[in-house]
Structure 1
Amino acid sequence: MADRSPGASAFGLLGIDLGAGSLKSTLIGLDGAVLAESSAPIRTMSPRPGWSEQAPGEWMEALARTTREIVGQAGNAEIGGVAITAGAHTQVLEDAGGNVIRPAILWNDQRAGAETEELRRQAGADILRIAGNSVNPTWTLPQMLWLKRNEPDAFTRFSRLYLAKDWLRKNLTGTWETDPIDAVGTLMASADGKSWSAELCDMIGWPLHTLPPIRPTLSVCGCVTVQAASLTGLKPGTPVVCGASDTAAETYGAGMLEEGLGVVKLATAATVSLLSRRPRPEATVINYPHIVPEAYYTIAGTNSCASAHDWLRRILTDQRSGGEGSGFGDLDREAASVPAGAEGLFFHPYLNGERSPHWDPLLRADFVGLGFNHSRGALVRALYEGVAYSLRDCLNAFCALGLNMKAARLIGGGAKSRLWSQIVADVLNIRIELPANGDASFGAALIAGIGVGVFPDPYSAAQVIGVRDTIMPEPSRAAYYAEGFRTYCDIQKALAPINHRLAELRGLAPG
């Protein structure tokens, strides 16, 4: 039997995270040290404006590739447990023969705007009461109503619904289940995620028997099958834990275990999360059960963050996308030479509509105040400030609920930019801490350790979470940004109705 005492080097825990642009696998030791890691890109398709889809088969190819590389890097280390995480809301539909019917609709897809408005009008208050969250285009419930109306053949053919991480786990274990956190993310379950809601499912005519059994997040659901072992390189019989959504894993893995300490994520999208001892059912924020016992995490987010930076970098440099967190070299140096305020230039990061706190798929991005005097660096700095302002917009929604953030752990690819990290600290006017390991695959590995009994509980596992750096807000810039935020909000309010008119014009445009 392997030595499982703290510090043992021959025993590892594997966390796998399916992100928006890549799948990453990380093997950690019992002291939290990374023993091996590997990632593979994931292709996102946008057949129409505002649509985001991925092919589940490519997820599994990426998982198999990265786990084989992990096994090769790990040498003789025993992998004692596996857990998988992925973005919430993203669903996979299979027919009775186990075949995937269509590409998975992602969490940032905006196609279900009309269905969302209809559900809001007819049952908005009931949905919020039952599910603990407000209906919006990014949730599974309105997306599946869209599917029923626009792809009736797919709707009549499907036999089982999987969430993204559960479909990947099914390919390892052959089992079918989900956890309470991802169940809440469908908007088809009770607010605590412990049971499916017939009332919610009946609103769109969704058959309850196609939804997976709900198991505890930290429970072992099965073991790696012989067939999966031959594909992935993992040993047959390796236990696989149920797992959770990526945000639950990464906020836990970053150390969000107490009230007042939040997590800010600068990734494809940007989010602000805070731990709460009860759900906060309000239309402006999202509520999920947390990894921490008897706790929830409240989250608000902006749709475009590192994706917006990548878009601007490609335009300014004529370079292809380098993935989340890439391209913080020359452009960062140019942006750092521009003073706070980007010489009067404002940016709103609504490239694909917006989530918190506006929940409006018709909003669009802008540069306001642009003049001949503005350089590439000014455009980049305005983008960094605009995303930070959007996060402050989200944070204000927390304050309205009596939730206060005293400090935050900063994670995501955007945290690789020291300038952007400092701007976030200044705009939010809080202490920023950079965790030693701040991604969902690390959190998933900790979840695997708790599930297989290596760690007795989430608090014990969290002892291996470290902080590598701290960034303090600079008082004069924080005061300046407090004033700038008011202008940012005024611009948003003024342009919102114009964005709606532009959406009408797009719909009327000749083909």
Structure 2
Amino acid sequence: MSADLLIGIDLGAGALKTSIIRTDGTLAGEASAALATSAPRPGWSEQDPANWWRALCETTSRALAQAGGDAARVAAVSFSAGAHTQVLEDADGRVIRPAILWNDQRSGAETRDLREQADTRILAIGANRANPTWTLPQMLWLRRHEPEAFSRVKRLYVAKDWLRSRLTGTWETDFIDAVGTLMADVSTGGWSPELCDMIGWPLDTLPPIIPSTAVAGRVTAEAARATGLAEGTPVVCGTSDTAAETYGAGMIREGLGVVKLATAATVSVLTRAPHPDFTVINYPHVVPDHWYVIAATNSCASAHKWLRDTFFRRDGEDGSAVFTHMDRRAAAVEPGSEGLFFHPYLNGERSPHWDPLLRANYVGMGFNHGPGHFVRALYEGIAYSLRDCMQALNAKGLAFSTARLTGGGAKSVLWRQIVADVLNVEVELPAVAEASFGAALIAGVGVGAYADARDAARAIDIVWRTSPDPSRAERYAKGHLIYRDIQAALAPLNHRIHAFVQGR
């Protein structure tokens, strides 16, 4: 039998997922494994990369078994993972410290210093503004607070590249993830000596840059024994999770939006060129000569899980069943949650506020509010935050009338409809709406299973559509104004709370 299967491996903040697809885009097998995040201090977010590798070995063997167990049928493997997250190795190839994740907020002071030093220059070179989620300020934090670790760094890997190196033994990244470090020059397509000099970072610790769809290496004999893959299987570079998700959702034409309801939530739109601005994020896209522009909210499915685990789940209960119960309770509540508002700032916020000190809240509680109100208000609050993001894009002339949904939150029919009503756009759901699917398509492009990146995206099937309800859209437009006013009123108090927690 010919090699007709493609594997995409996505490293998420909460789990690693392996998906195996056929070249026609249908799913042949999948498996996921949960990952633990450590928070040694408030605002910190770290993981042990060794756990990523164990999850990869476990899920790959399980997914292969579902797909029939013949590893020789796999034409190629590729990867995606959260941008900004880095793994640091010393001269002996040992991981120096836990990986600082993209949602970590420890580098607030370093971000302020970089902005004061070179705010507009960083934007001009890197097409993005320094923020605590980016690698550049995180590595400045490392230099200041862990100088011994900083001095030992021989190689910096972006997360998906470190995992891929476990299969191939090679060291490289793609330009999309390079831009995500805020150490690259978007005009040259290479690393920026000027940006690296701002934090004293040695250029020789940064990997060669290759295309996302390039074959980076092949599965080694050792990796084959650990994973069940066949030795010699081509491994394609891959890219960041949002790039893979938007591509896997079919964002191959300008004016189509993609809304991601995952650990974090994002709103993305495809463009011909970057739009450098202090309010949005810019990345190159998998489709050649295109970029995608993002506005993002830090907490989405992570906030949903927090609500479940904190208030709804009992010991031993199945988490998926609890989500289903929560969804039913929320569906019984009227739009607007009878005046209950939720702001999802459980770990600070990105667009449009860019404030790591914002805190989450429920506002407007009364005796009339029951469990379902709190769930629906969470759905609505995250959708309001996405409306903030969409308005940031609209202000740049990047409007869209149709959005495709990705991420685990898109499984909820109710949440999908709330997003359509709050954003007042038509919403479409692809058959497979996950980064691992996009990574599998990228694997296929890399080994010639498709004519090009656009051809691969034609395998995407849309299985659900909805339009916004005019009356609900009007009500949510009024609710969003209240949501914004609550945020503005509480922001100074959030800062005071932060100082209080810090003992100041």
In the TM superposition, 1:376-395 aligns within 5 A as 376-395=371-390
Does structure 1 conserve the Cα–Cα contact (< 8 Å) formed by 2:107 and 2:141? yes
Partner of 1:348: 343
Is the counterpart of residue 29 in structure 1 residue 27 in structure 2?
no
Unaligned runs of 5+ in 2: none
Aligned letter for 1:39? S
Of 29, 53, 57, the match for 1:60 = 53
Does structure 1 conserve the Cα–Cα contact (< 8 Å) formed by 2:20 and 2:64? no
Is the counterpart of residue 102 in structure 1 residue 97 in structure 2?
yes
Q: Could you give the per-residue CA deviations for residues 390-415 of structure 1, whole angstroms, max 9, x where no partner exists?
A: 00000000010000111001111111
Does structure 1 conserve the Cα–Cα contact (< 8 Å) formed by 2:313 and 2:322? no
Most deviating of 216-225 and 324-333? 324-333
What is the CA distance between 1:382 and its match in structure 2? Answer: 0.8
Most deviating of 489-498 and 97-106? 489-498
What is the CA distance between 1:499 and its match in structure 2? Answer: 0.8
What is the CA distance between 1:322 and its match in structure 2? Answer: 8.5
SS of the residue corresponding to residue 383 of structure 2 reads helix
Does structure 2 conserve the Cα–Cα contact (< 8 Å) formed by 1:310 and 1:323? no
Of 52, 64, 83, the match for 1:71 = 64
Partner of 1:333: 328
Partner of 2:4: 11
What is the CA distance between 1:73 and its match in structure 2? Answer: 2.5
Does structure 1 conserve the Cα–Cα contact (< 8 Å) formed by 2:279 and 2:352? yes
SS of the residue corresponding to residue 190 of structure 2 reads coil
Tell me the C-alpha RMSD between the 2 structures.
1.5
CA separation of 1:274/1:324 partners in 2, compared to 1, >3 Å: closer, same or farther?
farther
**TM-score of the superposed pair, with normalisation by structure 2:** 0.97
Q: Distance in 2 between matches of 1:123 and 1:115?
A: 12
CA separation of 1:324/1:360 partners in 2, compared to 1, >3 Å: closer, same or farther?
farther
SS of the residue corresponding to residue 44 of structure 1 reads coil
CA separation of 1:323/1:430 partners in 2, compared to 1, >3 Å: closer, same or farther?
farther
Partner of 1:236: 231
In the TM superposition, 1:55-204 aligns within 5 A as 55-75=48-68, 76=70, 78-191=73-186, 194-204=189-199
Partner of 2:310: 315
Partner of 2:355: 360
Q: Distance in 1 between matches of 2:366 and 2:495?
A: 25
| Identity over aligned pairs, percent | 64
Q: Distance in 1 between matches of 2:337 and 2:169?
A: 53
In the TM superposition, 1:455-470 aligns within 5 A as 455-470=450-465
What is the CA distance between 1:504 and its match in structure 2? Answer: 1.2
Q: Distance in 1 between matches of 2:148 and 2:178?
A: 25
Q: Distance in 1 between matches of 2:78 and 2:320?
A: 24
SS of the residue corresponding to residue 185 of structure 2 reads coil
Aligned letter for 1:372? F
Q: Distance in 1 between matches of 2:463 and 2:46?
A: 36
Is the counterpart of residue 420 in structure 1 residue 415 in structure 2?
yes
Most deviating of 97-106 and 309-318? 309-318
CA separation of 1:172/1:188 partners in 2, compared to 1, >3 Å: closer, same or farther?
same
Does structure 2 conserve the Cα–Cα contact (< 8 Å) formed by 1:307 and 1:324? no
Of 244, 249, 253, the match for 2:248 = 253
Partner of 1:270: 265
Q: Distance in 1 between matches of 2:118 and 2:235?
A: 38
Aligned letter for 1:257? I
Partner of 1:507: 502
**TM-score of the superposed pair, with normalisation by structure 1:** 0.96
SS of the residue corresponding to residue 355 of structure 1 reads coil
Q: Distance in 1 between matches of 2:318 and 2:454?
A: 33
SS of the residue corresponding to residue 149 of structure 1 reads helix
Q: Could you give the per-residue CA deviations for residues 400-441 of structure 1, whole angstroms, max 9, x where no partner exists?
A: 000011100111111111111111000000000010011011
SS of the residue corresponding to residue 478 of structure 1 reads helix
Aligned letter for 2:204? H
Is the counterpart of residue 450 in structure 1 residue 445 in structure 2?
yes
SS of the residue corresponding to residue 287 of structure 1 reads strand
SS of the residue corresponding to residue 210 of structure 2 reads coil
Partner of 1:7: none
What is the CA distance between 1:72 and its match in structure 2? Answer: 2.2
Does structure 2 conserve the Cα–Cα contact (< 8 Å) formed by 1:326 and 1:413? no
Q: Could you give the per-residue CA deviations for residues 192-246 of structure 1, whole angstroms, max 9, x where no partner exists?
A: 6720000000000000000000011111011001111111111111000011001
Of 399, 415, 437, the match for 1:404 = 399
Does structure 2 conserve the Cα–Cα contact (< 8 Å) formed by 1:325 and 1:416? no
Is the counterpart of residue 224 in structure 1 residue 222 in structure 2?
no
Q: After TM superposition, what 4+ stretches of structure 1 lie above 4 angstroms from structure 2?
A: 320-326
SS of the residue corresponding to residue 83 of structure 1 reads strand
SS of the residue corresponding to residue 301 of structure 1 reads strand
CA separation of 1:64/1:323 partners in 2, compared to 1, >3 Å: closer, same or farther?
farther
Q: Distance in 1 between matches of 2:439 and 2:190?
A: 23
Aligned letter for 1:19? G
Does structure 2 conserve the Cα–Cα contact (< 8 Å) formed by 1:13 and 1:449? yes
Aligned letter for 2:311? L
Aligned letter for 1:435? P
CA separation of 1:351/1:324 partners in 2, compared to 1, >3 Å: closer, same or farther?
farther
Of 36, 44, 48, the match for 1:43 = 36
Does structure 2 conserve the Cα–Cα contact (< 8 Å) formed by 1:193 and 1:289? no
Does structure 1 conserve the Cα–Cα contact (< 8 Å) formed by 2:262 and 2:409? yes
Of 344, 354, 364, the match for 1:369 = 364
Does structure 2 conserve the Cα–Cα contact (< 8 Å) formed by 1:116 and 1:136? yes
CA separation of 1:44/1:379 partners in 2, compared to 1, >3 Å: closer, same or farther?
same
SS of the residue corresponding to residue 396 of structure 1 reads helix
